[in-house]
Chains A and B, each alone.
Chain A
Amino acid sequence: MSPLVTIALRFVVLSLVAVGGVTSVLPEVHRVAVDVHHWVTDAEFTQMFVIARAAPGPNMLLVTLIGWHVAGLPGALVATAAMCVPSCTLSYFAAHAWQRFRGAPWRRAVEAGLAPITVGLVLATGWLVARGAPGGWVAYSITAVTTALVLFTRINPFWLFLAAGALGLLGLV
């Protein structure tokens, strides 16, 4: 079977089971890409994860890199599309159904119930990302200062990233 077809089939399935985002299926992506198909080595997988995090945009781009590694630009396109199109189609129809029930009491209950959990997950993500940058008190200070400035000023966070990157380059983090 052409590798493009294998990539497409694998990631289409993952797209539909990735409840809570791509991060929740990362272990499965690792299993498929490293253990089952030997598309990439363990070390390459980690490198790709870091690169995907360093790039702007959603961290599903790891999948793009795996496709690129296996089959060049067609591989990158196929992997990205396979990861997005099924779940996007589902979202499109789910959002339509959701919109129809606007104002229904049960929908308000669902929204009121989901909202605090959603926010809790966002905070947990921030916590994990901050902890993923091991660097002692300087790193924690960068996190704290960024949090405060984004919260209380209208500064564009891009400048904070630039400053934090510079501190890193200077060997302070």
Chain B
Amino acid sequence: MTSAPVGDTTRVTLGELYRGFFTAGARGFGGAMPWARRMLVEERRWLTAQEFIDVFGLCNFLPGPNIVNVSVVVGARFGGVRGAVVAFLGLLTLPFAVVLTLAVLYSRFGHWPGIDALLRGVGAAAGGLVLATGLKMAEGLPRTALAVGFLLVAFAAIGLLRWPLVPVLFTLAPLSVLAAWLRRA
């Protein structure tokens, strides 16, 4: 996997970084990750599909909110410290305001039964969006038995068996990396 890093040739201004992550945050119902991928890979093409997996994979291992870390890493790549700060603020400005507004509204109108029904519908669609994003990411993986195997085990351990994330991650990742290292020749 030697994807040429677009980061070396793509130029992104601070204003574009802010607007890009603002859109990802503003549309990020059901979690900002699918929308961030859509913005970064499909719409603005700041990252290749492979680069997004690499950045997101790295951020999965770092503590803290993953997608916030992605904004910092991508922002830093195109604009250093200022880029990181701008992308971070872009991602969070609107959701911050919206969630506080919702909290105020909910304390007044939360007992209206429509709210629950609405959220159930949106929740089902949000699940579909995340699944589709995962499948799109899977397209970029090498078609080897090892890759497919580790994907399925990770899915089953977290999604089906509901095992805690940290031990699963710290068991599977070293094994998978070791396997990739041994296969590299």
Query: Which residues of A does B touch, CB under 8 Å?
Result: 15-24, 47-48, 50-61, 64-65, 68-69, 73, 76, 80, 83-84, 86-88, 90-92, 94-96, 98-99, 102-103, 105-106, 108-135, 138-140, 142-151, 157-158, 160-161, 163-169, 171-173
Contact = CB atoms under 8 A, between A and B. Distances in A.
Identify whether the interface residues of A are mostly helix, strand, loop, or mixed.
helix
Contacts of A109: 177, 180-181, 184
Contacts, number: 384
B20 interface: no
Contacts of B88: 84, 88
B76 A125 contact: no
B99 A111 contact: no
Given A47-B110, A116-B151, A58 B95 contact: yes
Interface of B: 1-2, 5, 25-35, 38, 53-69, 72-73, 76-77, 81, 84, 88, 91-92, 94-96, 98-100, 102-103, 106, 110, 114, 117-138, 140-142, 146-155, 157-160, 164-166, 169, 172-173, 176-181, 184
27 contacts: A20-B165, A21-B66, A57-B95, A92-B84, A94-B62, A99-B77, A109-B184, A115-B141, A116-B146, A116-B154, A117-B154, A120-B151, A122-B33, A122-B133, A123-B159, A124-B155, A126-B127, A126-B132, A134-B120, A142-B121, A157-B35, A157-B38, A158-B29, A165-B122, A167-B121, A169-B121, A173-B120
B65 A150 contact: no
Interface centre among A16, A50, A133, A140, by most B CB within 10 Å? A133
Contacts of A102: 5
Given A64-B96, A119-B137, A91 B62 contact: yes
A171 to B, nearest CB: 6
